[in-house]
């Protein structure tokens, strides 16, 4: 997954980010916010992605639910499906999670490489995503 990642907090941000990416002719990965993933849960995140995909699915390279150090969240996300997961777990636990995920064709990322834009404090999602993509060429 080499596409730029955008941390989204709601459906409107997800749609706006995909719209901006489509206008730039790019694909992006939508990422859940690490600090609120447990409160939101993988079900709501996966549904948000499914709804956003309807607007500009061609711009969506993938979606990742950030489980952090919560193995239970990782298992819930794998059961739910609809997105990959990001984990930060001890090696033995990570190996187990990866084994379970591979059986369900769920992507597991342990370290995010590449550029990430967090939409937490941006005033204009579209222009922020456009500028971010222009600043990070393919």
DSSP state of 64: E
Residue 128, pLDDT score = 97
DSSP state of 59: G
| SS3 category, 6 | strand
Residue 47 tokens, joined: 């549904």
Mean pLDDT along residues 3-32: 96
Q: Which residue has the tokens 């979606």?
A: 63
Mean pLDDT along residues 120-128: 94
Residue 49, pLDDT score = 96
Q: Tell me the Cα Rg of the chain.
A: 14
If one compares 96 and 138, the residue with the highest pLDDT of the two is 96
Q: Is 35 a residue whose pLDDT tops 90?
A: no
Residue range 85-96, pLDDT digits in tens? 999 999 999 999
Q: Which residue has the tokens 């990570």?
A: 94
Q: Is 1 a residue whose pLDDT tops 70?
A: no
What pTM does this model have? 0.93
Q: Are 80 and 49 in contact (CB under 8 A)?
A: no
Mean pLDDT along residues 126-136: 96
């Amino acid at each position: 997954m080499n596409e730029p990642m955008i941390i989204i907090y709601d459906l409107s941000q997800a749609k706006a980010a995909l719209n901006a990416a489509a206008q730039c002719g790019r694909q992006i990965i939508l990422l859940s916010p690490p600090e609120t993933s447990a409160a939101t849960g993988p079900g709501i995140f996966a549904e948000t992605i499914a709804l956003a995909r309807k607007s500009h699915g061609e711009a969506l390279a993938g979606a990742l639910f950030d489980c952090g150090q919560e193995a239970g969240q990782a298992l819930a996300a794998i059961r739910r499906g609809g997105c990959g997961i990001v984990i930060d777990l001890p090696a033995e636990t990570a190996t187990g999670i990866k084994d379970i995920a591979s059986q369900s064709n769920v992507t597991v990322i342990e370290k995010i490489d590449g550029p990430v834009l967090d939409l937490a404090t941006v005033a204009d999602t579209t222009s922020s995503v456009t500028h971010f993509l222009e600043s990070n060429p393919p």
